[in-house]
């Protein structure tokens, strides 16, 4: 189904492209939010990714799954935003939000989650990517390897190293 939509979009079918965006937008936004830690940047990144997909759809060659290709574009957009330093640090702990009507136990869990993801975002780039793909996105090491363009064993090594680093940070 996705492959047929991709081919149609590559041939200029605007409706097919819109359907592809609709099918993948939640994943793009969720991934951007987990990587950058705040909703405003995630929305900027998601919009940027949609524009990039529009101009790059013709270059998708099908060697990987379309969703893996979209993940890579999303990760690159996150890195571009981080390199530009836009709003850096302003929302550094916003991954898990606490609202006043939550129970104290829920607030404590949200605060712990916020601290954990803030620490994950401090990891070196490859470790951070591996941890977020495997744990936040719940992908297999093989799927993370495809997205990152590395071997599965290397993903496992990055996850292992990240765990050691996180023990020190937390």
Task: Choose which CATH entry (3.10.450.50, 1.20.1530.20, 3.40.50.1100, 1.10.10.10) describes domain 103-170.
Answer: 1.10.10.10
What ranges do the domains of the chain cover? 1-88, 103-170
Cα separations in angstroms, 1 against 6, 16, 159: 9, 11, 33
Q: What does the pLDDT average to over 136-149?
A: 89
- Rg of the chain's alpha carbons, rounded to an integer? 17
Which residues have a Cβ under 8 Å from the Cβ of 48 and sit 6 or more positions away? 77, 80, 81
102 against 143, higher pLDDT = 143
| pLDDT tens-digit readout, 78-124 | 888 877 764 444 444 444 444 445 455 555 565 666 778 788 888 89
Q: Are 139 and 152 in contact (CB under 8 A)?
A: no
pLDDT reported for residue 117: 78
Joined together, the tokens standing for residue 167 give: 């023990």
Residue 19 pLDDT greater than 80, yes or no: yes
Q: In a 10 Å sphere around its CB, with 0-12 CB exposed, 13-18 middle and 19+ buried, how is residue 42 labelled?
A: buried
CATH architecture of 1-88: Orthogonal Bundle (1.10)
| pLDDT tens-digit readout, 31-80 | 898 888 788 889 999 999 999 999 999 999 888 889 999 999 998 898 88
Residues 106, 111, 115, 117, Cα dihedral to 10°: 50
CA 31 to chain centre: 3
Cα separations in angstroms, 33 against 19, 108, 110: 22, 21, 15
């Amino acid at each position: 189904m996705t492959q047929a939509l991709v081919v149609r979009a590559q041939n200029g079918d605007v409706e097919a492209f819109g359907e592809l965006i609709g099918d993948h937008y939640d994943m793009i936004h969720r991934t951007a939010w987990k990587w950058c830690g705040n909703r405003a940047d995630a929305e900027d990144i998601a919009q940027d990714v949609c524009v990039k997909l529009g101009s790059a759809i013709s270059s998708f060659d099908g060697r990987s799954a379309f969703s893996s290709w979209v993940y890579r574009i999303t990760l690159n957009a996150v890195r571009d935003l981080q390199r530009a330093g836009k709003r850096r640090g302003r929302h550094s702990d916003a991954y898990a939000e606490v609202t006043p009507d939550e129970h104290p136990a829920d607030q404590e869990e949200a605060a712990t989650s916020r601290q954990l993801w803030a620490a994950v975002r401090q990891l070196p780039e490859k470790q951070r990517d591996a941890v977020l793909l495997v744990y936040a996105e719940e992908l297999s090491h093989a799927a993370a390897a495809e997205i990152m363009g590395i071997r599965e064993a290397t993903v496992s090594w990055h996850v292992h190293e990240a765990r050691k680093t996180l023990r020190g940070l937390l």
